[in-house]
Amino acid sequence: MEKRTIAEPFKIKVVEPIKMTSRAQREEAIKKAGYNTFLLNSKDVYIDLLTDSGTTAMSDNQWAGMMLGDEAYAGSVNFYNLEAAVRELYGFKYVVPTHQGRGAENILSKITIKPGDWVPGNMYFTTTRAHQEMNGASFADVIIDEAHDSQADHPFKGNIDLNKFQSLIDRVGAENIPYICVAVTVNLAGGQPVSMQNLREVSALAHKHNIKVMFDATRCVENAYFIREREEGYQEKSIAAIVKEMFSYGDGATMSGKKDCLVNIGGFLALNDEKLYQKATELVVVFEGMPSYGGLAGRDMEAMARGMYESVDFHYIQHRIGQVRYLGEKLEKAGVPIVKPIGGHAVFLDARQFLPHIPQDQFPAQMLAAQLYLESGVRSMERGIISAGRAKDGNHHYPKLELVRLTIPRRVYTYAHMDVVAESVIELYQKRDSIKGLEMVYEPPVLRFFTARFEPLA
């Protein structure tokens, strides 16, 4: 990183006031929310680091594009602009818009998976795995071991372990693996990138066995930045060129536009294979809408297309990654246990080390998120045992990583906000011994982290 401060590469044209709350108000709010930060009313939140999904501030150029929405039922101008952006920036031939990323995951799973199949991936993502499993597949984690160790320092902790992938092929047969899902970056590993070298090798191995490579493209621009920073031969390349090379190793992608496309809603499925694309268009009309809008207004597609171009601007992504790193380094200096290296979209607190006295089935990360809210009105989320859900046998999955995610929305908060967050976490760390565990009192059957409710243990 350069020595001089990297200030926001934008100036502020519109402001949104945020509410300060008292501890008494927050105590009432978190109790009402069943100690689940997802269930808090956002008006009771001071700095909202729940997610970077759909929380982006759009640019004046994107807002201007909203006025150019062509709300025709079919063949909207904005669809063609989106299609052109995907072709130019990502290099895929066909695009099916969807209301958000999971809409694309649903369609991809339905057109590729048969019951009994296996889908390998570099660590699971909640909605991605849910769609794979609902269509009869089993998920197999083939990420490198380092990804499961919060302290392992590896420049590309999101990489796929080719031996794990090969042994899955040997064990279940390539004909039962419709595709490998490659997430760039890996959200649940801490926003960790995948190297270009690894993408090349994964692609070669998969294609040798007629297995498709499908990207979870959600944070592809952040991944490209890390490649430029860390991988030999990429220091002089543009972010756009790196993104395009990454995708050249795949057959398609699901995209949540709510992340790296810099919009509040939207997503798409991108494909190279014409027959698969045809199948996707047959399903999108059932679940989303016409293949030329897929659950989005014309204006949403326009904002997404414009956001895609803005996202590959070097100064935008340099500031984004720099801001996340600024928060992470402040915490690290104070001795707070975080996932290392610091990833692309969030700083992850290691709740196992933060609260070693709370066993995993008393939900330390869930409680840490609740306590951080109580302390300062900062909202974060659990990414541990609650997010991991239950296995087929009914027992909890016990993930090695028990984390609290402080996710930084794009272009929304300033460095001063990061200072406040760091101060709150550090204060909480100083009194960590007094924090107790939780008991789950309501559990929904799938994706339980969204709506589960808890009570503090006495």
Ligand X SMILES: *Cc1c(COP(=O)(O)O)cnc(C)c1O
User: Given the rule CB under 6 A, which residues bind ligand X?
Assistant: 53, 100-102, 125, 127-128, 183, 187, 216, 218, 256, 258-259, 267
Contact 113, 132 (CB under 8 A): yes
Give the pair of three-digit tokens for residue 102: 């999971």
Return all residues near 256 (Cβ < 8 A) that are at least 6 apart.
53, 100, 101, 102, 104, 218, 267
**59 or 127: CB nearest ligand X:** 127
CB of 9 to ligand X, least distance (A): 24
**46 or 268: CB nearest ligand X:** 268
Catalytic member of 46, 90, 92, 125: 125
CB of 288 to ligand X, least distance (A): 12
Contact 202, 180 (CB under 8 A): yes
CB of 201 to ligand X, least distance (A): 21
Q: Which residue is nearest to ligand X (CB)?
A: 101
The amino acid present at 423, given as its one-letter code, is E
**97 or 337: CB nearest ligand X:** 97
Q: For this structure, is 449 an active site residue?
A: yes
Q: For this structure, is 38 an active site residue?
A: no
**340 or 383: CB nearest ligand X:** 383
CA terminus-to-terminus distance, the chain: 47
Catalytic member of 219, 259, 405, 448: 259
Characterise 47 by phi-psi region: left (phi > 0), alpha (psi -120 to 50), beta (else): beta
Nearest partner of 375 among 431, 428, 418, judged by Cα: 428
Q: What share of the chain is helix, strand, coil (3-state, %, to 5)?
A: 45, 15, 40
Catalytic member of 216, 260, 300, 350: 216
**Other beta carbons less than 10 A from residue 2's beta carbon:** 7
CB of 117 to ligand X, least distance (A): 19
Catalytic member of 19, 23, 73, 314: 73
Contact 408, 219 (CB under 8 A): no
**45 or 130: CB nearest ligand X:** 130
**Other beta carbons less than 10 A from residue 116's beta carbon:** 10
**54 or 91: CB nearest ligand X:** 54
Q: For this structure, is 126 an active site residue?
A: yes
CB of 23 to ligand X, least distance (A): 32
Catalytic member of 320, 340, 352, 383: 383
One-character DSSP codes across 360-425: GGG-HHHHHHHHHHHHHSEE-EEESHHHH-B-TTSSBP--S--EEEEE--TT---HHHHHHHHHHH
**Helix residue spans in 249-313 (DSSP H):** 274-287, 298-311
Positive or negative torsion for Cα 451, 446, 53, 186: positive
CB of 15 to ligand X, least distance (A): 26
Active site (catalytic) residues: 73, 125-126, 216, 259, 383, 449
